[in-house]
Structure formats: structure tokens, C-alpha cells
């Protein structure tokens, strides 16, 4: 269980939460707070005094739109031991515990960590081990995304996957060099321009005869845009271009930790998209693992290329469920912003389940159409496909359609286009790396496959 949670603690100070609408009733018996001007405003945190001593703390929820408001307690309270007090039902229980844990996160690899360590008593009926596993998996993804590219190249990403595999008894293989060039030509083409060689990470866990679930995560450890170079402003957060890889590792940590009844496979094509004399060029044509030829219309549309080879490998064993997660398009951010990642699938049941469970987990996603009317844009005069669609709109959809060309045998497939980044501060969600959709997908897998 996470170190900030305790089973019991006599004398723990209660933590109350109240909406602006409920503030008047709450204040009726707390004259000291009324005198201090507490109004239940969003993020308003004040002590409840008993004479000269703090007897409790109260947090304003405003309109009550943020389920993780309780993270504010972990972020701002002084050292001490606390317990939940008067809390609206929707903000208590598992939600409050996860919010508290998310509020303890900080990325401290390059700076001195603060020693503040408030603790919270675990409420009855809450599975502290499960909540802790979920939070620690999210922290793993955040740490990976937040690590700058000079310390996180393809080999470093493979090392992180090896560490996770060792912790759970999973098998792992890392394909590099000549074997990568023979079997995964698109991955090799994208990554060959870097002094840090590309690789394909292949992790498997679970009983061979269990239902097969495969996760594919985009692992572009830094994206310069290649010869179609990004402007400098566009590169500032490109250490996060391996956010899909970080997210599938987080999901794997949750799944393996909970021992779900499935056979899990995680595939991560790990590359750095760099500029050099050996970098792939606009106009080049490559034959993919699936056999489809791809003309390079733009070297900055590299993510779909490496995913194509990994998806083709995943599809060869016809998994029951195949999911790919990638920081793929700016068009997805334009369509739904940084807090509501879109997903694409032809499976109506999967779409309904994912939407329902994502909302329940407060890890929202939004379905966009896999509109076949835009298939024409993937054409090329010299190859089967072009990675730069000849259409000025619907970039997230055309990217999904490109990936769909490499999936045929999987019983069910979905593609998630995530930002892997928080661009503003919210309780429990500091600016920086984020594991968008990890908790939603874990909830999906847990519902479908349960624990052993």
C-alpha cells in the first residue's frame, strides 16, 4: 500500500469537502469559518478551529465538477495524519483515495524533493492495495514522459520495460539491428537517422491459453520531425512523444499487479526521429511488415509508420482485443483538446463499454468516427499508401484509417490518440506527463476478464 495511506490512526484530523451550495448549511455550526469568509469556492482550503487548535480542515468544491478535488489536501496540507470527514458521496471512497494519491505525485529526478508527507487513514471498504497499484502505475507513466530525451532513448525505454517485466515475471524480448531491419522495415526506417538505434519491445505475460489482449504503444522518444523539421516551439514538449508507450506500460503494471485472467502482450516500437545523413526522406518508399508499400509524404508523420509494423505483428496472432495508444496527431488536440482524448473503433460494444467505464473512472475519452469516406486521402501514385493524407481536414480520422489498414485478424481493435500531457494545473494533475486512458482501459479489462 502507498506510504501516504495508513490503516488507522487515533486522533486523525477530519477532512471535510463542501460545495458552494452546501457551504451555508456547513457553516451553520462552524462560526469560526463563517467569520473567516469561507464560501465553498473551488479549491478554497481552510482550517476549522477549536480555540487555538486546528480541529479539522475543509475544502471548497465550487460547483463540484472536479472528482479529484481531494488531491488538494495531499498537495497543500502540512505533515500530519488525516481522515475523511463530511464528504459528498461522489467525492468519497475510492475516488477520494485515488485523488489523495494523485496529489502526492511530484517529478523529482532532477531537483531536491520536498520532505512534506501527510498521511490519510484508509476508509472502510476501500481496497488500498488496488488504489495504490493504480496510482503507482500512473506515476510510472508520468515519470517516463517527464524524463527528457537525453536520459530516455529507445534503450532506456526498453530498460524500463525490462524492469517492469522482471517485477511481474513477464517475458520480454527486444528486437534490434539486422532482425529489426528484416522484420520491421518501417520502424527501422524511422529510427535509423538517430545515433541511438531503434528497437521493438515485446513483453508477454499470463497463461498462453487465456484470452489474448495486445497493447501497442507509440515509443518515439523524441520527435524532431525528421527532415520535415518541426519549428522550435513544436519541439518543446516532444519528449512526450513516447506517451503511448508509457501508457501501455502503466496499463500492463495494473493488469499484472491485479493478475487479471488474460494473456497480455505489449508491443512498443521505440525510436528517435532525428535528422542525419541516414534519415529517411520525403518521397522514399518502404515495404511494411504487412507487405503494403508506403510512400513517405512527410517525415513528421512517423508515428503511424512505426505503429503500422507493430500492429501488423500483433494482428498475426489474431488477439481477442487489440488496442493501440499514441500521441499521434495535433488534429486530435484541435478536435477535443488536451483533456478528452479521442478513440476510434468499428466495434460498437467495445465503444459503449469504453465510454461508460472511462466516465466511471474519471478518465474520459470521446469517440470519433472511423469515417471510410476519407480513405481516398491515403492513396499514392507510386505506392499502396502515403503517410501524409492528401486532405486538409480530419487529420485524426485519416491517421486512424491508416492504422486500420494494418489490422485485419484481430477480433476487436481500437485506436486512442492521447496527449499524454497536462497543460494546466488541476488537483492531482500537475503540468507534465499524464497516462491518459490508462485507468479507463484497465477498468475495461478488469470488467471483461476479472482477477484470477
Q: Tell me which residues are annotated as active site.
A: 230, 304
Task: Please report, for residues 18, 60, 129, 245, 318, the alpha-carbon distance to residue 44 in angstroms, rounded to integers and kept in the order given.
Answer: 10, 5, 30, 37, 52
d(CA 244, CA 258): 21
Please state the φ and ψ torsions of residue 136, each to the nearest 5 degrees.
-65, -35
Look up residue 317 and give its three cell numbers: 496472432
d(CA 69, CA 369): 32
User: Strand, coil or helix: what is 58?
Assistant: strand
Rounded to 5 degrees, what angle do the CA atoms 399, 404, 407 make?
145
User: Nearest-CA neighbor of 443 among 346, 355, 326, 342?
Assistant: 355
Chain centroid to CA 303: 16
In the block, cell 522518444 appears at: 221
Rounded to 5 degrees, what angle do the CA atoms 35, 36, 37 make?
90
**H or E element at residue 417:** strand 413-417
User: Nearest-CA neighbor of 294 among 177, 197, 386, 185?
Assistant: 386
Look up residue 135 and give its three cell numbers: 496510482
Please state the φ and ψ torsions of residue 362, each to the nearest 5 degrees.
55, 40
Please state the φ and ψ torsions of residue 103, each to the nearest 5 degrees.
-70, -15
Amino acid at each position: 500500500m502507498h506510504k501516504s495511506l495508513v490503516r488507522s490512526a487515533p486522533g486523525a484530523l477530519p477532512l471535510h469537502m463542501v460545495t458552494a451550495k452546501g457551504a451555508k448549511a456547513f457553516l451553520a455550526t462552524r462560526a469560526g469559518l463563517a467569520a473567516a469568509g469561507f464560501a465553498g469556492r473551488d479549491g478554497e482550503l481552510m482550517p476549522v478551529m477549536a480555540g487555538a487548535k486546528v480541529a479539522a480542515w475543509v475544502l471548497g468544491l465550487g460547483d463540484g465538477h472536479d472528482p479529484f478535488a481531494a488531491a488538494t489536501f495531499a498537495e497543500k496540507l502540512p505533515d500530519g495524519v488525516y481522515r475523511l470527514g463530511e464528504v459528498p458521496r461522489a467525492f468519497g471512497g475510492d475516488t477520494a483515495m485515488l485523488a489523495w494519491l494523485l496529489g502526492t505525485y511530484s517529478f523529482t529526478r532532477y531537483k531536491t524533493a520536498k520532505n512534506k508527507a501527510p498521511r490519510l487513514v484508509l476508509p472502510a471498504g476501500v481496497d488500498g492495495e488496488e488504489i495504490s497499484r493504480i496510482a503507482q502505475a500512473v506515476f510510472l507513466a508520468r515519470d517516463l514522459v517527464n524524463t527528457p530525451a537525453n536520459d530516455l532513448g529507445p534503450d532506456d525505454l526498453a530498460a524500463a520495460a525490462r524492469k517492469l517485466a522482471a517485477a511481474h515475471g513477464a517475458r520480454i524480448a527486444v528486437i534490434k539491428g539486422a532482425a529489426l531491419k528484416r522484420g520491421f522495415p518501417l520502424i527501422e526506417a524511422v529510427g535509423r537517422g538517430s545515433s541511438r538505434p531503434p528497437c521493438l519491445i515485446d513483453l508477454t505475460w499470463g497463461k498462453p491459453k487465456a484470452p489474448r489482449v495486445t497493447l501497442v504503444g507509440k515509443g518515439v522518444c523524441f520527435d524532431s520531425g525528421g527532415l520535415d523539421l518541426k519549428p522550435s516551439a513544436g519541439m518543446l514538449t516532444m519528449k512526450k512523444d513516447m506517451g503511448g508507450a508509457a501508457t501501455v506500460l502503466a496499463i500492463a503494471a495494473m493488469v499484472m499487479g491485479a493478475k487479471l485472467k488474460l494473456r497480455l502482450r505489449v508491443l512498443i516500437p521505440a525510436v528517435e526521429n532525428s535528422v542525419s545523413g541516414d534519415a529517411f526522406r520525403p518521397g522514399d518508399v518502404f515495404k511494411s511488415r504487412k507487405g503494403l508499400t508506403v510512400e513517405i509524404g512527410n517525415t513528421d508523420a512517423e508515428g503511424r509508420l512505426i505503429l503500422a509494423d507493430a500492429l501488423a505483428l500483433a494482428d498475426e496472432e489474431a488477439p481477442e482485443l487489440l488496442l493501440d495508444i499514441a500521441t499521434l496527431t495535433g488534429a486530435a488536440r484541435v478536435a477535443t483538446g488536451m483533456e478528452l482524448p479521442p478513440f476510434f473503433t468499428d466495434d460498437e460494444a467495445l465503444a459503449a463499454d469504453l465510454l461508460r467505464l472511462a466516465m466511471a473512472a474519471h478518465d474520459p475519452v470521446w469517440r470519433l468516427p472511423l469515417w471510410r469516406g476519407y480513405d481516398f486521402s491515403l492513396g499514392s501514385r507510386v505506392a499502396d499508401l502515403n503517410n501524409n493524407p492528401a486532405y486538409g481536414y480530419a487529420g485524426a480520422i485519416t491517421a486512424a484509417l491508416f492504422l486500420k489498414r494494418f489490422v485485419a485478424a484481430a477480433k476487436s481493435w481500437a485506436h486512442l490518440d492521447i496527449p499524454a500531457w497536462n497543460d494546466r494545473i488541476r488537483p492531482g494533475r500537475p503540468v507534465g506527463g499524464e497516462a491518459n486512458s490508462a485507468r479507463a482501459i484497465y477498468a475495461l479489462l478488469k470488467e471483461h476478464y476479472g482477477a484470477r
